[in-house]
Structure 1
């Protein structure tokens, strides 16, 4: 199938599944707030943000496998593709076991009440919650590796279907908790984990049923491929560390500076404006592996054209963000009710934040797809170093509350917003010039 036709097909189906997902996504948030209450939900939201950190702890294996598997499939090398898949599974299983042991030991000695800044839950209770949640997460860690294979075959609409299935299951289980009065974080953790694992198992069955020629066996495990994956993985891992430190530390910072209650208002506004990120992701997600394939085949003008189109799309998304800004009070009131107070400054900062994230991701996806990540790493490292001091400065000196934390994140991301487009132009110009001299 023609690359552009396939991308359009993936966007079309992804958009459909994402709309359905969003319906159940917002229903699930409403149920969680009602079940737990404002402050306890803040603790749960902070827990989930830490979980999101851990999901990145694959030492960059996911992105490395996505790129190498795309290259192998572009060259019709099925044997190498199976070797990459099997080696990836073995590697991620080892990492998951080691990480779970670390979390178990850490939760046994750490003062979890201090970390989550709450006295609503006892130390022993928090330990059970953390160990149970991360047990589900690390199991999910292994099973969800199939998503990288799906990106590699450029059928990412299947990943959107999995998210849709996850939220259907989650909402069904949350409704059960709500109706029968199970109002505890432990019950939320269980239903969250069950929905997470079940949806990924279904996705795995679908992928290997449709791609039986890619089903690997242990004989496909190759130590040399593990070394290759780990080498590129370490580079991606370093990038992921500084990225998540900027993007996902906000809730921890807010919890420590202001308390869990302020995490709830931040989380609600963030999730409202995540519509912008989701719309951008639907269109941008198929491009990662498409960029890898096009760059491997030296189809540079297709890449340039795609980047220009995505730049224009960001301006459209800016209009969506402004619309959400204008009607945010009414939308949140309809969705959650009037029990949570939202500041206008927080809404304004989140409007800017989602636009700059979309802009950055345009260039990050291309550069990541060709393993050109040094500039991105150093600019994000500078941002990561500045993020916490800036957050403290805006909260303490300007009394901006959680809006100040978002402003610090915006400034931290601005370095790559400038450097990313410049690096992309330089790389593409070099390739064009080299082709001209052949």
Structure 2
């Protein structure tokens, strides 16, 4: 047994240094993410029991709508990720610090402006009507929206420290922040349930404040220690390099908007077409099958910045080997999804008892979407790492334009309800899932002429 363990450790630490680093990060990320997954699964029945099916659906829908602002950073986050990784690969440490300083300044100005604009227009909005909530919640929702929106802006700005850590190929470390915030939230919610009556407002404050607190403390710590040489400085803010971040970042920005339209608007479509209670069933199914997507994203996210380094150094043999292993993993995931679909009714019964009814079609189409999306991200994370994302941008815009009408058609006119919404996402993501591997092949063979290489 000891010899077998030593042989495994030796094999684990063998190979290219980039691969060894990635394996260690993936292993650590699985453990860290495991904590987050467990907490997430505990949260669902806990919050449904505390708020009720309707109010839980209202909270999820409102959070999804307000979370759209996280994608309005005009691509600064992903732009910084690629530029910081490139600077480290080239040994340009001062340039890396300039990018960090400029990114923090730009994002602070941008989101500060967003908040002022939001405060100006919010009195004109009737949130209880938008969310189809009971009129008795009107005043509470108006206050909650402002608080939640402010926390979202702070969280996204402070999250730049996580992007810097990921760009340094240490994704496992950056993955610590969310589980830690979730644990703090869980403990606070347990105290709330025992000590007060149902309050959507107090719950929103808890869930919004916890990640902001964790990221603020992480920012202070890492810029004092690990990334002291890259800490933001007012004198190094240079908006001349804003274009370097947003030139590539602007494309990422548009791509992110399409992700918002596809993912976040699903909750809104279901609320408007079926009702807020149906959002709860949709999110339960997505959280169950999305477990595999979450785990697989840990792997692909680990390789993004590694792909950037390998591409700059033209290490295509390593890129092919990694991608081949990811494809093998995807094949195994298809069988796991099928097994999860078979046992889904039993799992739902144990997990949430009879609080929410999950239609079989909703589970089936959610499993199908996860399978398609995982295939897509295998290749898209490599493409993101190279920065050749113009074609992806065009495809994503088409997907975003089609997603809402296709989803509404399936949900309303074919009578599929929430299952029709996720089926719409399956249909609209297919073109990208076909084009992405073709572009990957062209890039690594040097045949990425024209739109394929921009």
Q: TM-score, normalised by structure 1?
A: 0.95
CA distance in 2, matches of 1:53, 1:202: 25
Per mean C-alpha deviation after superposition, the further-off stretch among 197-206 and 76-85 is: 197-206
Is 1:12 matched with 2:27? Answer: yes
Q: Which residue of 2 aligns with 1:376?
A: 392
Q: Is the 8 A contact 1:40 1:120 kept in 2?
A: no
Partner deviation per Cα, 1:180-199 (whole Å, 9 max, x = no partner): 12411101111112211122
TM-superposed deviation, 1:397: 2.6
CA distance in 2, matches of 1:97, 1:395: 38
Q: Which residue of 1 aligns with 2:129?
A: 114
CA distance in 2, matches of 1:206, 1:364: 33
CA distance in 1, matches of 2:112, 2:408: 36
Equivalent of 1:270 in 283, 286, 296:
286
Q: Which residue of 1 aligns with 2:73?
A: 58
- Match of 1:285, SS state, is helix
TM-superposed deviation, 1:398: 1.9
Is 1:421 matched with 2:437? Answer: yes
Per mean C-alpha deviation after superposition, the further-off stretch among 78-87 and 113-122 is: 113-122
CA distance in 1, matches of 2:413, 2:153: 40
Per mean C-alpha deviation after superposition, the further-off stretch among 205-214 and 271-280 is: 205-214
Q: Which residue of 2 aligns with 1:436?
A: none
Partner deviation per Cα, 1:343-401 (whole Å, 9 max, x = no partner): 00000001101111111111111111111112212222222122122122212232111
TM-superposed deviation, 1:431: 6.7
- Match of 1:249, SS state, is helix
CA distance in 2, matches of 1:121, 1:89: 40
Q: Which residue of 1 aligns with 2:452?
A: none
The aligned runs of 1:42-57 (5 Å cut-off) are 42-57=57-72
Q: Which residue of 1 aligns with 2:11?
A: none
Q: Is the 8 A contact 1:15 1:282 kept in 2?
A: yes
TM-superposed deviation, 1:95: 1.1
Q: Which residue of 2 aligns with 1:291?
A: 307
CA distance in 1, matches of 2:237, 2:411: 51
CA distance in 2, matches of 1:205, 1:335: 38
Partner deviation per Cα, 1:81-106 (whole Å, 9 max, x = no partner): 11111111001101111111222223
Q: Which residue of 2 aligns with 1:160?
A: 175
Partner deviation per Cα, 1:198-234 (whole Å, 9 max, x = no partner): 2212332443222222223211111211122122221
TM-superposed deviation, 1:66: 0.2
Equivalent of 2:141 in 108, 123, 126:
126
- The 1:121/1:378 distance shift into structure 2, 3 A limit, reads farther
Per mean C-alpha deviation after superposition, the further-off stretch among 278-287 and 198-207 is: 198-207
Equivalent of 2:153 in 112, 129, 138:
138
- Match of 2:176, SS state, is helix
TM-superposed deviation, 1:254: 0.4
Q: Which residue of 1 aligns with 2:106?
A: 91
Q: Is the 8 A contact 1:270 1:350 kept in 2?
A: yes
Q: Is the 8 A contact 1:280 1:317 kept in 2?
A: no
CA distance in 1, matches of 2:116, 2:371: 38
TM-superposed deviation, 1:292: 0.6
CA distance in 2, matches of 1:150, 1:202: 15
TM-superposed deviation, 1:141: 1.7
CA distance in 1, matches of 2:237, 2:136: 45
TM-superposed deviation, 1:421: 0.6
CA distance in 1, matches of 2:368, 2:423: 9
Q: Is the 8 A contact 1:129 1:186 kept in 2?
A: yes
Q: Which residue of 1 aligns with 2:230?
A: 214
Q: Which residues of structure 1 form unaligned runs of 5+? A: 434-438
Q: Is the 8 A contact 1:380 1:415 kept in 2?
A: no
- The 1:219/1:309 distance shift into structure 2, 3 A limit, reads same
Q: Is the 8 A contact 1:380 1:412 kept in 2?
A: no
Q: Is the 8 A contact 1:72 1:78 kept in 2?
A: yes
CA distance in 2, matches of 1:432, 1:283: 26
Q: Which residue of 1 aligns with 2:297?
A: 281
Equivalent of 2:319 in 292, 300, 303:
303
CA distance in 1, matches of 2:111, 2:232: 20
Q: Alignment length, in residue pairs? A: 433
- The 1:215/1:395 distance shift into structure 2, 3 A limit, reads closer
Equivalent of 2:331 in 315, 319, 327:
315
CA distance in 1, matches of 2:297, 2:21: 16
CA distance in 2, matches of 1:379, 1:215: 37
Q: Which residue of 1 aligns with 2:4?
A: none
Q: Which residue of 2 aligns with 1:172?
A: 187
Q: Is the 8 A contact 2:330 2:374 kept in 1?
A: yes
TM-superposed deviation, 1:312: 1.3
Equivalent of 1:35 in 50, 72, 80:
50
Q: Which residue of 1 aligns with 2:382?
A: 366
- The 1:215/1:170 distance shift into structure 2, 3 A limit, reads same
Q: CA-atom RMSD, angstroms? A: 1.6
TM-superposed deviation, 1:432: 10
